[in-house]
Chain A
Amino acid sequence: MRFMLLFSRQGKLRLQKWYVPLSDPQKKKISREVIQMVLARKPKMCSFLEWRDLKIVYKRYASLYFCCAVEDQENELITLEIIHRYVELLDKYFGSVCELDIIFNFEKAYYILDEFILGGEAQETSKKIVLKAIEQADMLQEVGPIYFMKAFSARWAI
């Protein structure tokens, strides 16, 4: 995966994850272009677009568009499953997730994404394990300095 964008039906960006190094203006330009293209699609059209040398795979969940740009040799259908898995993770974490959850807790959305995907590839295929790791990390935030954490890591290693 090269990048993932989450945006509303009005084109407002809710999350952007880039797995390739690009300057801010470049990112802005690409986001604008891709968002425009996806928003212009009609409901009956398929979820795949060709754009430059990449394939754009997108799916709308309620008021949010989830959009991934993958390379030419990627399997588009499994990318749809990746997107769906991410939505499931968000849903489990927030409990019936909606756009507002992601707006107000964007950093959590990032943490969950980073626990599921690393460097553009899925790192964990078990929903349970991803959610458990997030839960553990959240608990770490509650307690004090990390030198208390040695005990934690021994007990909760997955």
Chain B
Amino acid sequence: MSGPFLPSVASAEDSGCFLVSLRLRMPAPIRLRELIRTIRTARTQAEEREMIQKECAAIRSSFREEDNTYRCRNVAKLLYMHMLGYPAHFGQLECLKLIASQKFTDKRIGYLGAMLLLDERQDVHLLMTNCIKNDLNHSTQYVQGLALCTLGCMGSSEMCRDLAGEVEKLLKTSNSYLRKKAALCAVHVIRKVPELMEMFLPATKNLLSEKNHGVLHTSVVLLTEMCERSPDMLTHFRKLVPQLVRILKNLIMSGYSPEHDVSGISDPFLQVRILRLLRILGKSDDDSSEAMNDILAQVATNTETSKNVGNAILYETVLTIMDIKSESGLRVLAINILGRFLLNNDKNIRYVALTSLLKTVQTDHNAVQRHRSTIVDCLKDLDVSIKRRAMELSFALVNGNNIRGMMKELLYFLDSCDPEFKADCASGVFLAAEKYAPSKRWHIDTIMRVLTTAGSYVRDDSVPNLIQLITNSVEMHAYTVQRLYKALLDDISQQPLVQVASWCIGEYGDLLVSGQCEEEEPIQVTEDEVLDVLEGLLVSNLSTPVTRGYSLTAIMKLSTRFSSVNRIKKVVSIYGSSIDVELQQRAVEYNALFKKYDHMRPALLERMPIMEKTATNGPTEIVQTNGETESSDSKHMPSIAQPANQANDLLDLLGGHDVGPVIQTALPTKPASAGGELLDLLGDLSLSGGPAPSPTPSVTISQPPFLLDGLSSQPLFNDTAAGIPPMTAYNKNGLKIEFTFERSNPNPNISVITIHASNTTEADMTDFVFQAAVPKTFQLQLLSPSSNVVPALNQGNITQVIRVLNPQKQQLRMRIKLTYTYKGAPVQDLAEVNNFPPQSWQ
């Protein structure tokens, strides 16, 4: 390419000669309109491409000829082809040449081309800088305008830095045509190079005293930008509030002004911008908010609402009222405006109303509640965005008083809404029901309704949550299982419903067949009928593998609740050769349960205890390790770290070789799905998400079952120590630890020890932690302590349960470690406990 872009000397004679010589060389390039016409006649994409390629070739050679006359035309054509999606980068430098030309036509196309082809990512972008600088100082304001426009639309940071001074100069000109453009150009400069904001401050001094609306509008935009970016600027410009209020007032009060009128409203664009700036200035500032109170009320009440433009102003007014420190009367007025918007025929207005109400529902809850019925009506709207917002808002408005009515509407909505809403709506219903259910029966009924109408859209984590809910509603078990059973008879296609139902039938099948339901007419159903249904799930094509797992487990559980054990045995043995590995594994293990471990079966398949729900559904905290490190389900990895460290401490102390690690439970309230197929027997509950755990490495049945017992926070013993005397395990420095014994029935290998820690000194022992380690042949489980403060002077004690599994009936030994804070200082002690009474481990 030839050198820098010197402006071509354009005198009439020169261009004339040039033209003549040009004509001798090649025909004039076709005009823009003709090209457009030609290209539009193309019938296929291929034909169009061919035409374009031909023209591009012609343009390229024309560029090579350095043709000044037709450069403008060629670039224009190139821009057209660029809009169709074809590459036009070879025109970039030509744009630069056009910008440098003295002809206005050239400049116009050149700058347009620059804005389309020469954004800041292009290497040659900066080459524009000098031209723009010159044109900013041009004698013709339209040329200056072109330069300002280009700079303000796409100037890079470097270009902005170079030319900020010029822009600042023009911001102070008296020519309003240039001043308004300079203001917006300054906005762009500030966005690109925020540090330059300061330099524009002096020029803003009397921007608002302009009469020209264009300048006013762009000035307000500039001030807004500066206030949004800098708290100092914000404080500085707060003094403009009275002036802004005055301008706004004039706009409203002044008569008809044809130049700025839009449907009877004077310059709505300016009004909206002023309102927005007032919002920013009034936020968190009492004085400013008070100064604008009247004008906001005036705008809110006087603006004509028959057309969109009036509503646009009202909308902005409402946003401002809600954001500043407005008095409550004004806020209520604002919310009422939104309420009226909801009744507007124009869906756009309804949409912005719902969006705004959603933003304010937390802060102005009562005011929004008054419009609840209108909001609920919007659930029936045809527009998807409006429906969604209405749904979100409805859930936000649900409370203890309106739960019944609201739920009716929301369930109706759930029935009829589009699939894209169902999952969110179902989750919302569950959440609202959990928070505000007026009765347990209502709660179960609501859940049933959701499961039966939108069962396949319910989220995966709802299944374990629902199961937990059902388990804890003890008095509703019979009613629940009956309703779920009846639902299964109708429809087995919705997997979450089927899974919850299977689980319940497995758990409460005995209640089902014994017809114990109080809430409604008990149904007559036999054991065989129930098993038919569950077996039907196993074979159905509609059931997913997860569902099949649920139903197989449920069948197994019924073996201790029903009398038709043989039938169950048969089913289980059939699935021992199932193609589905998960199913096969379960069946094989259940089979083994029937054969070799039949004595354990009743305990394993016992009724689930009440589960305490913790605040978050985080990873369960049950950590299991054997002597060999068994990898538990990866979900539980995070919680293993902490207890493992403590175990290591003790291991270090005890020499590490002959002592097994401690299994410590913080809050064993959720059944762990890791670490053993035996846990899977009880329903695959994985409350950290996902209905079934990932298959763990197979643990053999010889895994001690006592780990399951740890699922409840209370030990499952049901007879107290038949005569095992308590013992003092530790007594030093005023801290006394006593052990009392129970034997866990029905497992004779488990000893349940309760420690009682008491404190005879005059100060409390705080942050008390009890740790224990046992030899390798034993396994130990620590449940959570009653508290971590041992009160002074025997005013109370801490109790904690230890469960020790001793399959080899060896003599029990224990190392204990105590840590606590006493009178501000940390205390730590180790001790060995060897004086266990023989009955406790024999």
Residue positions of A touching B, CB distance < 8 A: 13-16, 18-19, 21-24, 28, 44-50, 75-78, 80-82, 85, 103-104, 106-107, 110-111, 114-115, 118-119, 121-129, 133, 136-137, 140-141, 144-147, 149-150, 152-153, 157-158
Contact = CB atoms under 8 A, between A and B. Distances in A.
Query: 3 closest Cβ contacts across the A-B interface?
Result: A77-B312, A124-B214, A119-B152
Given A47-B348, A81-B269, A111-B112, A126 B312 contact: no
B309 interface: yes
A144 B108 contact: no
Contact of B383 (A46, A133, A146, A152): A46
Interface in B269-283: 269-270, 272, 276
Q: Which of A77, A146, A153 has the most CB of B within 10 A?
A: A77
B468 interface: no
Interface in B572-614: none
Contacts of B330: none
B71 to A, nearest CB: 14
B307 to A, nearest CB: 10
A104 B351 contact: no
Contacts of A123: 180-181, 184, 214, 217-218
B104 A146 contact: yes
Given A13-B83, A125-B213, A126-B214, A157 B347 contact: no
Interface residues of B, number: 81
B273 to A, nearest CB: 9
Contact of B187 (A21, A77, A119, A145): A119
A133 B262 CA distance: 20
Nearest to B153: A119
A44 B347 contact: yes
Interface of B: 10-12, 32-33, 36-37, 40, 76, 79-80, 83-85, 87, 102-105, 108-109, 112, 115, 119-121, 138-143, 145, 148-149, 152-154, 156, 175-177, 180-181, 184-185, 187-188, 213-214, 217-218, 221, 259-260, 262, 267-270, 272, 276, 308-309, 311-313, 315-316, 319, 347-352, 382-386
Contacts of A48: 348, 351-352, 385
Nearest to B109: A107
B269 A82 contact: yes
A13 B319 CA distance: 35
A78 B119 contact: no
B348 A145 contact: no
A158 B214 CA distance: 11
Given A46-B351, A107-B79, A77 B385 contact: no
B80 A141 contact: no
A137 B112 CA distance: 14
A19 B221 contact: no
A158 B79 CA distance: 30
A125 B269 contact: yes
B305 to A, nearest CB: 12
B275 to A, nearest CB: 9
A76 B177 CA distance: 27
Nearest to B213: A125
Contacts of A127: 259
Contacts of B351: 46, 48, 76
A157 B175 contact: yes
B385 A118 contact: no
Contact of A149 (B32, B33, B104, B316): B104
Contact of A140 (B104, B121, B148, B313): B104
A28 B312 contact: no
Contacts of A80: 308, 312, 348
A125 B221 contact: no
13 contacts: A24-B87, A44-B383, A76-B351, A111-B108, A114-B115, A118-B185, A118-B218, A119-B184, A123-B180, A125-B217, A125-B269, A144-B12, A157-B175
Given A48-B351, A77-B348, A106-B80, A133 B142 contact: yes
B269 A129 contact: no
Nearest to A141: B105
Contacts of B76: 107
B312 A81 contact: yes
A76 B145 CA distance: 28
Nearest to A136: B142
Contact of B312 (A50, A78, A114, A149): A78
A77 B308 contact: yes
Contact of B385 (A21, A50, A119, A129): A50
A21 B80 contact: no
A46 B112 contact: no
B268 A81 contact: yes
Given A75-B316, A123-B181, A125-B267, A21 B383 contact: no
A70 to B, nearest CB: 13
Nearest to B9: A145
Contacts of A146: 102-104, 138-140, 143
B262 A106 contact: no
B360 to A, nearest CB: 15
A144 B104 CA distance: 8
A17 B585 CA distance: 63
B214 A21 contact: no
Contacts of B121: 21, 23
A49 B112 contact: no
B315 A77 contact: yes
Given A45-B384, A77-B312, A129 B348 contact: no
